[in-house]
Amino acid sequence: MSLSLQGLPDMLVCNRSHLEDFCQKITKRTAKFNEIEPIVLYAANAWADAANKAYIIKKLDTVQRSFAIKICRAYRTTPLSSLRVLSGLLPLDLRAHENKTLYEIKKGYTACEHLKGAEVEIKTPFCKTSHPATAALEYVILFNEELTINGSSLQIYTDGSKTEEGVGAAISLWKGDIEIKSQKLHLAHFCTVYQAELMALKRAAQLAVQRKETEVLIYSDSRSALDAVVGGRSFDPLVTEIRELLIQHSEKNIKLFWVKAHAGRRGNERADQLAKEATGAKQKPVYDRCPISYVKKLIRENTVQKWVTKQSNETTGVTTRMFLPDPETAYRIVRSKGFNPIMTQILTGHGAFAEYLHRFKIKPSPACECDENVLQTVEHLLTECPIFTIQRHNLEQTAGMRIARNVLPDILAGHRLALENFCERILDRTRRFNGAQTIDKQNNSKDTTKI
Ligand SMILES: [Zn+2]
């Protein structure tokens, strides 16, 4: 069977070993899961339903585990629940469902359940756009030089804005040095500044077509919006509407200009001010098509929630939960900055600790260096072990709190660097006490992962 879109569900069910071999080869070639994840999730919309089956989830977990170990540079015994928290990877079965949902929404097969009735901005079909060769549009870049303006020309300045209050756009019509008309446009709260800029350009183009002036100059400070309009390669519905207007009314002398924002040009400053005022307007939005970027954000939030529920049923990864009890917070922390291998050992409990080494029959005694009756666990080393009293005291001074099990999440979130320094000292000592060579040899014996 050749690997095809339609054959993937059957491939997962009937030829798991082949797929597994294929994924293992991929694993050996690259250690970065973010690069390989799109390959594993290729055409997930076709096989996402198969990812509900327990044995398929298990296979996907196996693939993800191999990458997660490499990303975290963790011990091969580390549970997957901990690896996911520390690598910031979401379960592959949930990611497959995420891809399927996004695909269906993009194609218009289904509505986004989180949008409360709002419609998603669907790209204009290729067949409904003008051929790029039918009309060549262009815009002129104006820096500081003044354009010689014919007194009878109509100038329309456009701008878009997004603030905490909402999203707005505005146009300001000028003749000579006098503003003759202006319009504020309010957009739905989830719209982007790019959409606001395009909405202002669209309204300007509509007015330019309706008015009797023979020459209309339209100004915008958005290069991306102008590039999309003149480029002819964008299928954004607003872009295609603007293009169609300009192409169909090519007999009118409508010219596009880019002006630098906040450079003192009166018309542009006025449009900027009006657009900001429009953000907080209490009126029905003139545009409420939801951008795909917002839909992606909503779907990801939903996936993270599903993962949190899944994670709460996990019985493994106790040490990781001691530091990162809330997977949602952990996801944000890890996405901003990953953990080094030393912290991975501390945060998983799978590392150069006597209790762990004894559990896996590498060391005869689980006792700590300080007392033969005390287990050498991560919690003991961080909160009690008298060997590290001075270092612990320094951390307590920095953090302004006594180091105990219940404050470890706060210390990790608020004083990560100081905690990392403390952990480095601990690992340096425990590796020497427990025999670093034995630990590395044991950990590398069945896996290529290096500590
Ligand atoms: Zn101790």
For the segment 44-68, the average pLDDT, to the nearest whole number, is 90
Nearest to 230 by CA among 217, 246, 248: 246
For residue 446, the CA-to-ligand 1 centroid distance in Å is 30
d(CA 321, CA 39): 31
* pLDDT band at residue 389 under the 50/70/90 scheme: very high
- The pLDDT of residue 3 is 55
d(CA 271, CA 265): 10
Q: What is the pLDDT of residues 131-183, one digit of tens each?
A: 767 767 888 888 765 665 666 788 999 999 999 999 999 999 998 888 899 99
- The pLDDT of residue 14 is 65
- The pLDDT of residue 135 is 66
- pTM metric for this prediction: 0.72
- The pLDDT of residue 23 is 58
410: Cβ–Cβ under 8 A, 6 or more apart, which residues?
399, 401
Please compute Rg for the chain using Cα positions. Answer: 30
For residue 227, the CA-to-ligand 1 centroid distance in Å is 65
Query: Across the chain, which distance is largest between two alpha carbons, in Å?
Result: 95
Q: Is the distance from CB of 172 to CB of 156 less than 8 angstroms?
A: yes
For residue 362, the CA-to-ligand 1 centroid distance in Å is 19
Q: Name the more confident of 208 and 8.
A: 208
Residue 246 has pLDDT above 80, yes or no: yes
For residue 136, the CA-to-ligand 1 centroid distance in Å is 76
State the SS3 of 249-264: CCCCEEEEEEECCCCC
Domain borders along the chain are: 6-111+299-314, 126-289, 351-440
400: Cβ–Cβ under 8 A, 6 or more apart, which residues?
none
d(CA 166, CA 152): 36
For residue 419, the CA-to-ligand 1 centroid distance in Å is 18
Phi first, then psi: what are they for 381, rounded to 5°?
-65, -40
Residue 294 has pLDDT above 70, yes or no: yes
Average pLDDT, the chain: 85
Inter-helix orientation angle 80-87/327-336, to 10°: 50
Tokens (6 digits) for 29:
């070639």
DSSP label at 291? P
For residue 386, the CA-to-ligand 1 centroid distance in Å is 6
For residue 382, the CA-to-ligand 1 centroid distance in Å is 9
For residue 376, the CA-to-ligand 1 centroid distance in Å is 6
Residue 39 has pLDDT above 90, yes or no: no
Residue 449 has pLDDT above 60, yes or no: no
* pLDDT band at residue 350 under the 50/70/90 scheme: very high
Residue 448 has pLDDT above 60, yes or no: no
For the segment 188-217, the average pLDDT, to the nearest whole number, is 92
For residue 334, the CA-to-ligand 1 centroid distance in Å is 29
Inter-helix orientation angle 33-40/92-107, to 10°: 60
Residue 438 has pLDDT above 80, yes or no: no
- Using CA atoms of 117, 118, 123, 124 in order, give the dihedral in degrees to the nearest 10: 80
Tokens (6 digits) for 3:
């690997």
Inter-helix orientation angle 16-29/54-72, to 10°: 10
How far, CA to CA in Å, does 406 sit from each of 20, 130, 389, 413?
41, 64, 19, 13
Displacement of CA 246 from its chain's centroid (Å): 36
CB atoms within 10 A of CB 25: 9
- The pLDDT of residue 383 is 93
Residue 190 has pLDDT above 60, yes or no: yes
Tokens (6 digits) for 213:
């002036």
Q: What is the pLDDT of residues 2-17, one digit of tens each?
A: 555 556 666 666 666 6
For residue 379, the CA-to-ligand 1 centroid distance in Å is 10
For the segment 56-75, the average pLDDT, to the nearest whole number, is 89
Q: Name the more confident of 444 and 406.
A: 406
- The pLDDT of residue 157 is 93
- The pLDDT of residue 283 is 82
For residue 370, the CA-to-ligand 1 centroid distance in Å is 4
For residue 414, the CA-to-ligand 1 centroid distance in Å is 25
Give me the percent of the chain exceeding a pLDDT of 90. 42
* pLDDT band at residue 24 under the 50/70/90 scheme: low
What's the topology of domain 126-289? Answer: Nucleotidyltransferase; domain 5 (3.30.420)
Question: Beta-strand (E) ranges in 40-166?
Answer: 139-142, 154-162
β-bridge partners, 141? 258
For the segment 349-375, the average pLDDT, to the nearest whole number, is 90
β-bridge partners, 169? 160, 185
Q: Is the distance from CB of 114 to CB of 302 less than 8 angstroms?
A: yes
For residue 78, the CA-to-ligand 1 centroid distance in Å is 23
Residue 120 has pLDDT above 60, yes or no: yes
Residue 115 has pLDDT above 80, yes or no: no
Residue 263 has pLDDT above 80, yes or no: no
d(CA 341, CA 451): 7
* pLDDT band at residue 377 under the 50/70/90 scheme: very high
Residue 221 has pLDDT above 60, yes or no: yes
For residue 367, the CA-to-ligand 1 centroid distance in Å is 8
Per DSSP, the three-state class of 184 is strand
d(CA 16, CA 61): 13
56: Cβ–Cβ under 8 A, 6 or more apart, which residues?
12, 13, 50, 93
For residue 167, the CA-to-ligand 1 centroid distance in Å is 58
For residue 438, the CA-to-ligand 1 centroid distance in Å is 20
342: Cβ–Cβ under 8 A, 6 or more apart, which residues?
420, 423, 424, 427
For the segment 267-295, the average pLDDT, to the nearest whole number, is 89
For residue 439, the CA-to-ligand 1 centroid distance in Å is 19
* pLDDT band at residue 28 under the 50/70/90 scheme: very low
* pLDDT band at residue 97 under the 50/70/90 scheme: very high
Residue 25 has pLDDT above 60, yes or no: no
In this structure, of 3-12, 77-86, 368-377, the range with the lowest mean pLDDT score is: 3-12
For residue 9, the CA-to-ligand 1 centroid distance in Å is 52
- Owner of token pair 């920095």: 398
d(CA 279, CA 196): 10
